[in-house]
Chains A and B, each alone.
Chain A
Amino acid sequence: MSFAAGSFRDPAARVLADDGPQIRRVLSAAAAADDTRLRAAGLFDELERAGWLIASRRRDDVPAPDGWSAVVESPRLPFVSYPAEWSFGMLRDAALLTLQITERALERGAILKDASAFNVLFEGAQPRFVDVSSLMSRDGDGPWHAYGQFCDHFLAPLMLEAYRGVPFQSWLRGSLEGLDIGTLARLLSARDLVRPGVATHVMARTALERRSGTLAPAARHAARGLALPAAALLRNVRSLQRLVAGLRSRAVSPWADYRDAEDHALSARKAAFVAAAGARLGGGQLAWDVGANSGRYSRLLAEHYAYIVALDADAGAIDRLYAELRGSDEARRVLPMVVDVMQPSPPRGWRGRERASLVERGRPQLALYLALIHHLCLGRGVPLAEFLDFARDTAPAAVIEFVAAEDPHSQALLASRTAQHPGYDLANFRRLAAARFQILDEAALTPTRQLFLLA
């Protein structure tokens, strides 16, 4: 028996290492008894019906491994994404989901034992709370032990972007523990004191942490025994919900409005090429749209592919796509992610195995690279041959839009650089592509843009 590398933190429940369509968790005797009680009380059913909690069931027909008492099974989502890869709206909705579940649990005498942002995954644009073993009966009448973790994982990064206009993604890429509230206090200015939640959740909390840091261990331990009636705890959770729901991103996005400037005739021809490529390849389980921006072509692929991951380095563009996907037909099948392919998420955490790198999480059968190549090759110096190596390593099939150096968009990129891009031309692209793929189809979009279907 071996465990999934990321599931060691909770000693009462662990995820088994298994690549099957179901995730299996094993529970300790105490956790199994509590799970039985909460299921009998209908809490799981209620949260599942609301669409908040992933469906799960006890597998009492499956023998639990030695030292464990029960097995709980829940479906595996098609593609895993982490908080550093979410847009502002995604992190905010994941925070609200965590608070909604906490509120409902409190009303039923239960609580969340942790409030890690990694407890939430997205099924397309739908956040789902997946750590079913995080629910537990509330013991006594103490404060919420996971409140501090909630602040580090959700509130602080959201406040940083909402109040300072600083995108949170790189902070969360830097630490799996989120953004420490004391660090946020140093990043905020005196002006921010009047903003909602700053005086209390940031400044008062930081002062209390400083003071309590000097307390004797016995006194700090005694703090765990402090009582807070359920009604007061509920009030706190609801006030946190209002605070989080009111936060809006103030980060600047250069790309969120790009689509408005798109040439409609050109994008219609591109759409026809992408649709024909999907049909010709016969579809599949997973496709990526790299540099997805508005997600128009990601959504087109949903006709042929079961699940589409829409990647873009611009958090503003991904946030807009996320908002549009909510409530759409493809809401559960297109997953928006903030990813810069020049710096894809590496493996992270304990022994470098706790959180998988982007490429370890599943390879697509088709990848789109539309209007991306000039950004990588001309804008960021990637040699053309290496771009095609990357495409070949990523997926067995690719749709690539070659944008020549003479194209107005390329010229805009090159305006402030010395023009140095040896070998970056259509003839060389065709030659390098043919050495790695078979060119199945080719179409000229404009005199400086050419579409390719490679497989």
Chain B
Amino acid sequence: MKYLKKKSRELILLAVILVIGCIVSTTTPFFTKLNIINILYGNAAYGIMAIGMMLVITTGNIDISVGPQMAATSVICGLFVVATGGKYPLLSVLIAMAVGLAVGLFNGTMVALLNIPAIVVTLGSMNIIRGVIYLVSNGEWVEGLTGSFVKIAGTKIIGIQAAIWVWALIIAITYFFLYRTKFGRDILAVGGNADAAMRVGISKIKVYLFAFGYLGTLVGLASAIQAAKVKSASPSNGAGTEMQLIAACVIGGTEFTGGISSIAGTTLGVILLGVIKNGLVLAKVPVYWQNLATGVIIILAVASSIFNSLPKKKKAKKEVNA
């Protein structure tokens, strides 16, 4: 029972997803294997990045330069693929991840060493990266991605696309090191109270660098998958992605004050946003309703958190009185 209470948000999210699915399936089949795999496949890139974003928010920071990072990594990866004819798929993905890592480490350094609020640092780097990538690419798309590279996302392993397997792998790895290693606990500790964590000897700088670097690497991975999926890369890639990711984290119960995170919640948040999009399309609702629905869901998710915190506050007050 205690376990269920602890996981109440995840259960509610799961229920909401199922209810939406049931509503949609009254008109069109929703719970088919094809549709479910389509939703997962379509949101795999978002899901991978959302895990990284969750980690950054867990440390009490935020990164709004994800969109330009996606553009930079996918364009550079795309140029490499075109130059080599797509012969080295693994190397191409690694290059995208390395570029993302570099950007992430830059952000992390500015935040950790100069003590500047993360939202402002990433606001600056967002402008710089977007500008540089447009200047370098002249605003042109990188097209004609060929070879074995374009198969990395869609290749089916046991009937499920590789992109979904990668997503699952990232979830497993992140879960393991965040909850089962000492460094993972350090991350949560710094997010919960940076000063207290520093006093017990945890390096804030290391944690911040790791979180931003991890997000950058995952963005590189995700944009390589995305590029392989659509066989092209554009310098305007990823506009508005950061808000989508933050929304998924928030719906999943991650708090901006840091220290509180849920991998399952974040993943369900991504899926919920994907299901809303998919459901609205299947139900033939005009596309303009998507923003409205997303907004209502975020507000409901945010408002629901006060019901969780209300009893705790009362208890705390009683203790003070006693």
A and B from one complex: no
A residues apposed to B, CB below 8 Å? none
